[in-house]
Chains A and B, each alone.
Chain A
């Protein structure tokens, strides 16, 4: 027992920055807590500490912020950050990608009475997580397409996701078991009601072909999701960084998020707490002192609840953190713990953008 108690967790992200095998890093949280700033900071630190490796930061939030954060325009295609050549950024809207996919299917199969199309279409509305899965597949396709000639491989060593605030982005991780049972049921029904299903899909050989096509599509989705699942549930390949602030609602939502992620068997070992005031007793601002007391109360709870996590405490600066230089300055505290006595000059020393 004593050897386990000796495991002290440092309040920084060194374990992630130095973890070479990590392939997927998700940065998420709810409620305007600084996900984008944190994901940018994590990416910058990764890129700076491992100059020989390539990193890709992707925003899947429909309200993209990466361009604002870096003060540089990014789009659906990956583009290197100016001043940091081994870090690229991409902004992709998964819903738009899914619509593109559906439109493509419409173009290739324009029969409005095609029951297969309607069944496939309604399947996206019926199975929980299927939309997210299909969106994610499209995102992966985009990533792979950046590789150019060999579009089956991903040319980046690590991909960082700035996830959308809904939190359900990853619920497709529950899909494989659902799809497996669904496919088994389809096979059973096909065996018992094959002619009936064939009639539903047009009858005769055409109906059988369409039925097989539907099963093939389902199987393909299942295989893709299973493969993704396998990687996302491997803690040596994937981790999730929770971002929060020191307030009741954020703490509550963070706990719920962690529980949800652990139900997906996804590794969560680090929590970044943003916007901390670190006001001391001599601070003239009464409001700051009051808020700092409130923040300390929740920080205490977090220290107790998350003693097995890396709790990284980040300060609230005097202005917004935009541009590579400012983000780089801020990102240092993810690796070297912020000391309010020694490092407080950064609060008002950011460059204007």
Chain B
């Protein structure tokens, strides 16, 4: 065996220590100490008599002379003796299988732990920054304070905007990640979307048909029961009194409320709005105040369309009836 220098010996020992820690793991070693893995490392204290009995049993079960000699030795090994090494405490604990240190490297397991810690630190950087900016208004030198409730800085619009921008960026990144889903999920989503759109259109058409029938029924009712054949007669209070306009407006109001509720519950399906498309194109040039108004308009634009549609039916009916009669 070649003579090793002190530095080489130190290096070998360091690598051996690191390898054992990596192999066994820090938790395993701590568990051994606390006695989880075996009764031999129990931390229970025993009475003096029990210790005496244990000591006697240990001496009887081993080579007495050898142990006594070891205890009596002056210059070699520990004066306490190698009793522990003779005992079978660590049946499963051996030196690392591969003691060729050159293949192990320094603290392989520890390196992994460090990498994990670094990754955790990386993930915590954003949290750390948020904490720092949240707390920068307070002259507070406490360690590790985490409670940011009630911090006046949170109410500062500038800081809120900054933080929300930070969070917004994160949300955008998350959305981008979510968009990179598998092709199947994309197809499923598209199919679902189309189905929802189809259902919405079906409802709309049925709604239109029902409206049309009700309005036409009202017109015929007024024509036959109230002899209403001109629109001007509606407003001629001296000759005829007609409740047509009351019925008409009441029905329109009911239709509008019903449709509004439906729209609010199915907001995402209202994507065919021309106003929305136009806003997407030129939205940057429109002031925010008007933008909101226009978006509201876009949302309920179909209600207006329906009303105008019904009105035009009424006008058409009166037009035809006044000509024919």
Residues in A lying within 8 Å of B, measured CB to CB? 1-4, 6-7, 9, 11, 15, 18-19, 115, 118-119, 121-128, 131, 174, 177-178, 181-182, 185, 189, 193, 196, 199-200, 235-236, 248, 251-252, 255-256, 259, 262-263, 265, 267-269, 278, 286, 289-290, 293-294, 296, 299-301, 303-305, 308-309, 311, 313, 337-342
Interface string of B124-157 (1 = CB under 8 A from A): 0110110111011111111111000000000000
Contacting pair A3 B141 (CB below 8 A): no
Contacting pair B30 A15 (CB below 8 A): no
Determine how close the nearest CB of chain B comes to the CB of A207; give it in whole angstroms: 13
Alpha-carbon gap, A125 to B134, bound state (A): 12
Alpha-carbon gap, A342 to B135, bound state (A): 63
7 pairs of residues in contact across A and B, judged by CB atoms under 8 Å: A125-B142, A126-B131, A177-B121, A262-B17, A300-B87, A304-B89, A311-B78
Contacting pair B78 A4 (CB below 8 A): no
Contacting A at CB under 8 A, from B83-118, are 83-85, 87, 89-90, 93, 99-101, 106-107, 110, 113-114, 117-118
Chain B residues closer than 8 Å to A278, beta-carbon distance = 79
Query: Is B260 part of the binding interface, using a Cβ–Cβ cutoff of 8 Å?
Result: no
Alpha-carbon gap, A84 to B78, bound state (A): 31
A313's partner among B10, B80, B87, B110 (CB-CB below 8 A) is B80
Contacting pair B117 A308 (CB below 8 A): no
Contacting pair A181 B41 (CB below 8 A): no
Which residue from chain A places its CB closest to the CB of B73 in the assembled complex? A339
Chain B residues closer than 8 Å to A339, beta-carbon distance = 74, 79
Chain B contact patch, size range? 35 or more
Alpha-carbon gap, A128 to B79, bound state (A): 44
Interface string of B33-54 (1 = CB under 8 A from A): 1100000010101001001100
Alpha-carbon gap, A189 to B110, bound state (A): 32
A300's partner among B14, B83, B135 (CB-CB below 8 A) is B83
* Prevailing SS type, chain A contact patch: helix
Chain A residues closer than 8 Å to B87, beta-carbon distance = 300
Determine how close the nearest CB of chain A comes to the CB of B193; give it in whole angstroms: 34
B99's partner among A4, A248, A305 (CB-CB below 8 A) is A4
Chain A residues closer than 8 Å to B29, beta-carbon distance = 255, 259, 305
B136's partner among A19, A122, A248, A311 (CB-CB below 8 A) is A122
Which residue from chain B places its CB closest to the CB of A299 in the assembled complex? B80
Determine how close the nearest CB of chain A comes to the CB of B51; give it in whole angstroms: 4
Contacting pair B121 A304 (CB below 8 A): no
Alpha-carbon gap, A308 to B99, bound state (A): 13
Contacting pair A305 B121 (CB below 8 A): no
Chain A residues closer than 8 Å to B106, beta-carbon distance = 265
Contacting pair A235 B10 (CB below 8 A): yes
Contacts A15-B10, A252-B34, A262-B110 hold; do A294 and B136 have CB atoms under 8 A apart?
no
Chain A residues closer than 8 Å to B165, beta-carbon distance = 193
Query: Is B281 part of the binding interface, using a Cβ–Cβ cutoff of 8 Å?
Result: no
Contacting pair B128 A126 (CB below 8 A): yes
Contacting pair B79 A304 (CB below 8 A): no
Contacting pair B7 A236 (CB below 8 A): yes
Query: Is B184 part of the binding interface, using a Cβ–Cβ cutoff of 8 Å?
Result: no
Determine how close the nearest CB of chain A comes to the CB of B276; give it in whole angstroms: 30
Determine how close the nearest CB of chain B comes to the CB of A175; give it in whole angstroms: 10
Alpha-carbon gap, A309 to B78, bound state (A): 13
Contacting pair B107 A3 (CB below 8 A): no
Alpha-carbon gap, A178 to B123, bound state (A): 11
Contacts A4-B99, A200-B162, A303-B80 known; 5 new A-B pairs at CB < 8 A: A7-B4, A125-B142, A259-B29, A265-B107, A311-B78
A131's partner among B30, B83, B139, B143 (CB-CB below 8 A) is B143
A293's partner among B33, B51, B93, B135 (CB-CB below 8 A) is B51
Q: Which of B18-26, B208-216, B290-298, B317-325 contacts A (4 or more CB under 8 A)?
A: B18-26
Chain B residues closer than 8 Å to A123, beta-carbon distance = 132
Alpha-carbon gap, A344 to B110, bound state (A): 42
Contacts A3-B4, A252-B33 hold; do A290 and B51 have CB atoms under 8 A apart?
yes
Contacting pair B34 A181 (CB below 8 A): no
Contacting pair A182 B7 (CB below 8 A): no
Contacting pair A303 B82 (CB below 8 A): yes
Contacting pair A118 B9 (CB below 8 A): no
Chain B residues closer than 8 Å to A290, beta-carbon distance = 48, 51
Which residue from chain B places its CB closest to the CB of A296 in the assembled complex? B80
Which residue from chain B places its CB closest to the CB of A267 in the assembled complex? B14
Which residue from chain A places its CB closest to the CB of B55 in the assembled complex? A293
Alpha-carbon gap, A2 to B2, bound state (A): 11
Q: A1, A123, A178, A313: which has the most chain B beta carbons within 10 Å?
A: A178
Chain A residues closer than 8 Å to B26, beta-carbon distance = 255, 259
Alpha-carbon gap, A197 to B255, bound state (A): 53
Contacting pair B13 A7 (CB below 8 A): yes
A4's partner among B84, B101, B118, B140 (CB-CB below 8 A) is B101
Chain B residues closer than 8 Å to A128, beta-carbon distance = 144
Determine how close the nearest CB of chain A comes to the CB of B128; give it in whole angstroms: 6
Which residue from chain B places its CB closest to the CB of A117 in the assembled complex? B139
Chain B residues closer than 8 Å to A294, beta-carbon distance = 45, 51
Contacting pair A304 B144 (CB below 8 A): no
Contacting pair B90 A304 (CB below 8 A): yes
Chain B residues closer than 8 Å to A296, beta-carbon distance = 80, 83
Contacting pair A300 B84 (CB below 8 A): yes
Contacting pair B14 A301 (CB below 8 A): no
